[in-house]
Structure 1
Amino acid sequence: MVQLSYYPSAIAQAAQRVNEIDSQLMAVQHQINRFEGNADRVAAFEMDLKNDAQRKSRRFEVLLVNQEYQQAVDMQMRLSVEKANAIAHLEYLRNQFSVAKLEARLAIAQQLSDFESLELVGL
């Protein structure tokens, strides 16, 4: 069984990890938005495109050939999974801490109960 004093720092570290991943996700999302904005600009200024469907298709083509965009989207997916796992780990630690506190309270209550029983018997 892990000591109760272990949990606060472990929980803080796990929360910090979630925050770090979230920060990385925001940076990747910013990069994706920039690529998508550039693709929108390219599609908007091509005069031979006649309607929105053609512009959307051109935008898709521009993004499809952009390796950096594809890498950023892959990174976003990977970081999203990593963040979900980090959040699950954080919740696991919080729940373990709650259980450990309850077990400690139960042990104290049992000790008090045993002590009171001994007093009743006169020992």
Structure 2
Amino acid sequence: MRKPLIATSTLVVASLALAGCSGTDSGDTGEAGDWPDSITISLVPSVEGEDLAEALDPLTAYLSENLGIEVNGVVANDYAATVEALGADQAQVVITDAGSLYNATEQFGAELILRDVRFGATAYSA
């Protein structure tokens, strides 16, 4: 379980760093160095939801401590929920599948900032 958590935390840390540089919200003045007071990460479990929720706690605690802001984790029921949370500004970072990424990009102007590499490939045929 440690390797997936480490990989996920690395992905999220990099996502947060990049998202913090380009994101805007109602309190954002657009000046360099602006940083939100809190963010929410939304993701969908590929395993039991309870297991992911438990694994999310140490990740959000680690990110909160090292980023100096409150980081909340939300386990969504499905990928569409992560897209809607992003659009409603209930989540600022989502970990999602390719189809939902497309929807988030088209509907809400989301930007891909990181993608995973599996077995040396960044894409696959479905």
Classify the TM-score, shorter chain.
Answer: under 0.3
Q: Which structure shows the bigger proportion of residues in strand conformation?
A: 2
Give me the TM-score of the superposition, normalised by structure 1: 0.25
Give me the TM-score of the superposition, normalised by structure 2: 0.25
Q: Which structure shows the bigger proportion of residues in helix conformation?
A: 1
Highest RCO, 1 vs 2 (Cα 8 Å, sep ≥ 6): 1
